[in-house]
Every structure is written in C-alpha cells, then in structure tokens.
C-alpha cells in the first residue's frame, strides 16, 4: 500500500508529539517519512545491528524483544519504536518484528534528530517514553494520580479572554481551568480562543465565562490512565480535569499520555468512533475476545480487564446514538441513555447481553415519544449487531416501560422501595446499577441521590433486598467439596457467574444502599463501604480477596476457551483446576458465604 504525503500528514495529526507541530513543519516532516509493508513474522530491525531510525505503526502490530529474546513490549496503532533511547552508539539494543501484516512509517536517524532539535514536545515525549519502556510502565495499570499535572493553571469566569490568552502563552499551555472557590466551573482551551473569540471577532475584554466549556467531563485521581485515553478518544476531547470531592486537583492532556500497553483497546475505540454503521462497528467488536486474551495474558487485574472491555461497549453506544441523531434529527427534548447490569457496573467480560433504558425530560409529549422509540430501536438493534445481544428479560430502552419521563422513573423507584414485592426487588437490583452513558446527566443525578436517601431510610426495603441477594449462593458442597450443576448442558460444572461473582455483586449493592454510596462498580462499592465504616476492615479485606480470586478464575477460563477457538462462557469443570487452585477457590466461596450469613444476621455490615 503506497501512502501519499497528505495521507501521512493526516495520520501524524492524530499522533502525539507530531500533532504539536505547525502545519508547515508537519507537512515537511511527513515528506521525510517512508512507508514500508512488513509481512507477519518479518524482522523490522535487528539487535546489535545499526539502527535505521524511528518507526511509527500506521497499521498492524509489532513485538519488541531484547538481546536475550525476552519481550520488551507489544506495540500497535500509533506507537513509535526504535528511538534513540533504545540505541547504543547508533546500534539497536532491541529487535522489532511484525506480529501481523503491518504498514510501518520510518524516519531516518538524521531526520529524527532534526525533528527532536526543532520540537520541544518531541524531546519531552521521547525522553519520557524511554523511561517508561525501561521501567515497563503500564498506562492501563497506572492511576491518574500518578499521571496528572498537580498544579493546573486556573482563571476566574470574569477574567478577560485577553488575560487568559496571556496566561496560556506565559505558561506554554493549551488550556485553563475556570473556577471559583476551588470548584471547577468550566474549561477554556486554545481551540475555544480560535473558534469562539477570533473567528467571531469578540473583543479582548470578553469574559472567559462567556466562551468556556461549562461542566466539563472529569475523572477522579483514582481512575486509570486508560480511562483518560478512552474518554479523550471517544468524546474527541484533549483535556480532562481531575476532580476529587468536588475540588479540582489536577489536569491531564493528550501530551501527558502515551498509548503503551493500552494500544489494543484504544485502537478499537478509534475505529468505533470513525464507524459509519453498526456493521462496521461489528467488525471491531468481533475483536473483543482477542482483546480479553491479550489483557488477561498481560497479567492485568480483573477490574482493569472488565473496565477496558466495558469502555468498548460504551463507545459503541455513544456512536450509535450519534448515528441515530444524524438519521432522525436532534432529540425534541433532553434525554439520558443509561446502562445497567454488567455494563452499568463496568464489569463486562467476553459474554454480555445488553441492559439499558432511557430517562426523558418531563416536557416530553406523546408525539415526542415516537422519536425516542425510533432512537431506542436503532441503538438496541445496533448493539445486537455488534454482539451485545438483546436482553432476554426485555430490560431495554425499546420496551416502553423503560423509556419514560423522569417523573415516571421517580414513581418507579418510590413504588419499588415502599412496596418491595418480588418483582420490585428484582427490578431494584437491576436499576440500582444504572450508569449514565450519554445525554443530559442532570436527569439522573438528583434521582440517584433522592433514591439512595429514600432506600437507606427504609429498613424494610433493605431487608427485602438483602433476602433477595441471598438467593445466589456460592457452590459449596459437603466435606469440603464444590457443588456443581446436577443436570443439563453444564452438568458437573461450576457457574462462576451466578454462584461466584453475582453473590459478591449483590453484597456490594446492599452496602451501597446502606451507605448511600453512588459507585456502581462492585469492587469500588466494597472499598467505599470499608472506608465509610459500613463494612469492617477485616471483612472488606477477606471479601475483596475472595472476589478477586473468583473473578480472576472466571476471566482466565474465558481466555482459555477463546484460545481454544471456542465461545467464552461462565462455566468451569473443577477437574480442570489443580488441587491447590480448587482449594483456594473453595476458600474464596467460603468467605463469600460467611459474609452473606453475617450480613443476613446483621453482623459484618457495621464494623
């Protein structure tokens, strides 16, 4: 495949640090790159040989190994390699080999040196990139706390855009946080300056508050670096403020991130964002099993794996909503699309159906509802095309029951809490795992807070929810055995979902209700319950360890099935485990059962 200079220029615009160059400099640099195709397994450059320069992956994947053949890294779309930090006196200290058919851009050593000399951003990027490769730093496992700039520059909403421009120039930054009293109100970027001030001819004394982006998307410092990357790619933003307990504590921009080790999931998100149909997205989501195998094989913790996989589902949902509005026009009233179930909790694995709903503004008319039914069918059909099959229980926005105005949703939760019959308990269990995906998030914020307050104060409702949660029990048999399924397709197997993970998920939901905790992720709920005193430190430690053991076993089982060319599921033959593994897994089930009993008796819930 021959690439034109224009194609290379467009590609470089999407990759840091090349995106920091002025247009003329970028065009010149693009002309210095050459494109070469490498067949899977072919060597790009060899250890202990003269290094041919800097490489950039346009398509495909590359494995880098050291002089002993040990893997240094697996690289994919937009990753650079071969830079001078991996050289010794001009000789390569690694070997790069194409893992699949790849198209690679190359910049010769002299051109690379000129690039570094001309660009401070390039020098900073490749200096840091070398350090990360040396220490095997993983973006997927890094917390935002370790990546963010801890002293973000701020201005007040009544400051002039002239003053803001001077601040950005003096500090050589591309954005300012806008706040008052330590609270974030908005964000101002150089793009805002160009598109809103210069392009519209606004005067220099225009207040920042008039052009800033209000209520920007934020993340907490406990989020993952990959969360930032996925948010930037899926929402097409380049700056993410970091907020803790309502206070601004940091800022992350595109220049603060690399795609090392997160490239596979980032690549999927990139293709989903550019897709023009559900069929195109289905080609991307078909690679989710491979993503799961890669993430599990790389030693990522289960909560990292499931979060990255869920991010793909979120990106598909967002893109389908965009395509729906392109086809049907803008929504007649504000709405909010929410996910529940495993997507809501950000706990999707290789086996997931869809669970979703719509909250509509109270001004919605009967005529407006026809629009939202078309939108819901478009999105749910698209999700099904992408492998997120229709919910067997019809818990989807296509069901008119789950596509209602906010006032109806308030009535739903009020009825479930005040009259907790079996159906209400089941529905509340699903709907207390709601997470906003796209739309007007204010439609859910007040509802969530009011519902948690009401639920926590109703001891009868909590007791019913507790009893409902105990219906899923760990598979423990007599005489230190494991109780397997007695008949049917999965006879003599363990159900690692309903008898393994779900009991812990149910306990986490109960602790969240009792403690008015807004997190929906199960592990986060348990950690927050322990921090808030709703769960004893020892109980939390044991339960988290047990949950990790069960969830890791489930993911490793799914990865093993995928590698065998089979569809992943949630079942496991105990005989496939070693004696030690069976013993540890049983111990984990015992912990869960003990915590269930303690919670049912009123012990272990309060420390």
Q: Is the pLDDT of residue 600 over 60?
A: yes
Which pLDDT score, from 0 to 100, does residue 258 have?
44
DSSP state of 207: B
Confidence tier at 115 by pLDDT (50, 70, 90):
confident
61 or 554, higher pLDDT: 554
Please name every residue paired with 92 in a beta bridge, in sequence order, or none if there are none.
Answer: 87
This prediction's pTM: 0.62
Q: Is the pLDDT of residue 370 over 90?
A: yes
Which own/partner contact pairs does 14-20 have at CB distance under 8 Å and 24+ positions apart?
14/78, 15/56, 15/78, 16/121, 16/125, 16/254, 16/255, 16/257, 16/258, 17/119, 17/121, 17/122, 17/124, 17/125, 17/126, 17/255, 18/122, 19/254, 20/119, 20/121, 20/122, 20/255
pLDDT, average across residues 215-239: 84
Percent of the chain's residues with pLDDT above 70: 89
Instruction: For residue 2, give the nearest of 36, 26, 42 by alpha carbon.
Output: 36
Average pLDDT, the chain: 85
Percent of the chain's residues with pLDDT above 90: 45
Q: Which two tokens stand for residue 55?
A: 């490489």
SS3 track for 215-271: CCCCECCCCEHHHHHHHHHHHCCCEEEEEECCEEEEEEEHHHCCCCCCHHHHHHHHH
Confidence tier at 86 by pLDDT (50, 70, 90):
very low
Q: Provide the angle, in degrees to the nearest 10, between the axes of the packed helices 406-418 and 459-469.
A: 80
Confidence tier at 136 by pLDDT (50, 70, 90):
very low
What is the C-alpha to C-alpha distance for residues 504 and 508, in angstroms, rounded to an integer? 6
Confidence tier at 146 by pLDDT (50, 70, 90):
low
291 or 500, higher pLDDT: 500
Q: Is the pLDDT of residue 531 over 90?
A: no
Confidence tier at 187 by pLDDT (50, 70, 90):
very high
Q: Is the pLDDT of residue 19 over 80?
A: no
Which pLDDT score, from 0 to 100, does residue 394 have?
94
Beta-carbon contacts of 395 under 8 Å, excluding residues fewer than 6 positions away, are 340, 341, 355, 356, 357, 402, 430
What is the C-alpha to C-alpha distance for residues 342 and 502, in angstroms, rounded to an integer? 10
Q: Answer whether 430's CB lies under 8 Å from 392's CB.
A: no
pLDDT, average across residues 462-486: 84
Which pLDDT score, from 0 to 100, does residue 555 have?
95
Which pLDDT score, from 0 to 100, does residue 257 have?
64
**DSSP-based three-state secondary structure for 133:** helix
Q: Is the pLDDT of residue 128 over 50?
A: no
Which pLDDT score, from 0 to 100, does residue 67 have?
61
Confidence tier at 105 by pLDDT (50, 70, 90):
very high
Domains and CATH numbers, the chain: 5-135 (2.60.120.10), 144-256 (3.10.580.10), 263-466 (3.30.460.10), 470-600 (1.20.120)
- Among 129-138, 268-277, 287-296, 442-451, where is mean pLDDT lowest? 129-138
Which pLDDT score, from 0 to 100, does residue 416 have?
92
Q: Which two tokens stand for residue 364?
A: 């919605």
How would you classify residue 90: left for phi > 0, otherwise alpha for psi between -120 and 50, otherwise beta? left
Confidence tier at 10 by pLDDT (50, 70, 90):
confident
Confidence tier at 140 by pLDDT (50, 70, 90):
low
What is the C-alpha to C-alpha distance for residues 316 and 324, in angstroms, rounded to an integer? 12
What is the C-alpha to C-alpha distance for residues 374 and 285, in angstroms, rounded to an integer? 23
- Among 307-311, 327-331, 508-512, 602-606, where is mean pLDDT lowest? 602-606
Which pLDDT score, from 0 to 100, does residue 114 have?
84
Q: Is the pLDDT of residue 354 over 90?
A: yes
**DSSP-based three-state secondary structure for 594:** helix
Beta-carbon contacts of 86 under 8 Å, excluding residues fewer than 6 positions away, are 51, 92, 93, 94, 130, 133
């Amino acid at each position: 495949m021959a690439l034109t200079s224009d194609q290379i220029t467009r590609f470089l615009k999407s990759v840091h640090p090349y995106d920091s160059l002025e247009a003329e400099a970028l065009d010149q640099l693009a002309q210095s790159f050459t494109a070469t195709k490498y067949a899977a397994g072919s060597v790009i450059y060899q250890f202990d040989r003269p290094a041919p320069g800097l490489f950039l992956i346009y398509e495909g994947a590359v494995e880098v190994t050291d002089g002993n053949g040990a893997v240094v890294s697996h690289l994919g779309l937009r990753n650079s390699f071969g830079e001078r930090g991996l050289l010794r006196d001009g000789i390569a200290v690694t070997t790069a080999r194409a893992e699949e058919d790849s198209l690679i851009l190359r910049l010769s050593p002299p051109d690379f040196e000129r690039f570094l000399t001309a660009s401070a951003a390039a020098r900073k990027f490749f200096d840091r990139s070398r350090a990360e490769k040396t220490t095997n730093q993983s973006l997927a496992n890094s917390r935002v706390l370790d990546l963010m700039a801890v002293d973000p520059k701020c201005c007040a909403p009544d400051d002039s855009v002239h003053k803001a421009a001077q601040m950005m120039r003096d500090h050589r930054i591309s954005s300012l946080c806008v706040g008052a009293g330590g609270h974030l109100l908005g964000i101002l970027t150089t793009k805002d300056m160009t598109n809103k001030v210069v392009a519209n001819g606004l005067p220099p004394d225009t207040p920042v508050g008039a052009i800033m982006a209000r209520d920007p998307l934020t993340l907490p410092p406990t989020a993952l670096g990959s969360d930032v990357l996925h948010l930037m790619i899926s929402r097409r933003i380049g700056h993410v403020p970091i907020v803790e307990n309502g206070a601004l504590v940091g800022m992350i921009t595109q220049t603060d991130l690399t795609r090392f080790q997160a490239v596979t999931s980032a690549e999927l998100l990139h293709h989903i964002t550019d897709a023009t149909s559900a069929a195109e997205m289905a080609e991307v989501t078909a690679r989710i099993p491979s993503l799961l195998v890669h993430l599990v094989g790389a030693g990522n913790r289960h909560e990292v794996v499931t979060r990255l996989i869920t991010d793909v589902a979120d990106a598909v949902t967002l893109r389908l909503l965009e395509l729906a509005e392109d086809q049907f026009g803008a929504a007649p009233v504000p709405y909010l699309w929410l996910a529940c179930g495993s997507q809501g909790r950000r706990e999707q694995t290789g086996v997931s159906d869809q669970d979703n709903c719509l909250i509509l503004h109270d001004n919605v008319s009967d005529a407006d509802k026809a629009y939202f039914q078309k939108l819901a069918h478009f999105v749910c059909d698209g999700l099904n095309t992408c492998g997120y099959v229709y919910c067997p229980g019809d818990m989807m926005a296509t069901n008119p029951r789950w596509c209602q105005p906010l006032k109806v949703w308030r009535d739903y939760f009020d009825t479930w809490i005040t009259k907790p019959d079996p159906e209400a308990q089941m529905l509340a269990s699903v709907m207390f795992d709601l997470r906003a995906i796209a739309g007007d998030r204010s439609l859910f914020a007040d509802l969530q807070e009011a519902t948690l307050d009401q639920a926590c104060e109703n001891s009868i409702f909590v007791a019913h929810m507790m009893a409902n949660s105990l219906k899923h029990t760990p598979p423990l048999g007599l005489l230190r055995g494991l109780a397997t399924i007695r008949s049917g397709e999965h006879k003599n197997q363990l159900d690692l979902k309903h008898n393994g993970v779900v009991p812990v998920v149910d306990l986490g939901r109960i602790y969240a209700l009792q403690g008015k905790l807004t997190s929906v992720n199960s592990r986060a709920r348990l950690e927050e319950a322990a921090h808030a005193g709703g769960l004893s430190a020892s109980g939390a430690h044991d339960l988290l360890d047990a949950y990790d053991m069960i969830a890791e076993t489930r993911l490793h089982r799914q990865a093993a099935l995928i590698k065998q060319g089979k569809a992943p599921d949630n079942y496991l033959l105990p005989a496939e485990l070693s004696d030690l593994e069976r013993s540890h897994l049983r111990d984990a089930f015992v912990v869960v059962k003990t915590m269930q009993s303690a919670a049912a008796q009123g012990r272990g819930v309060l420390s």
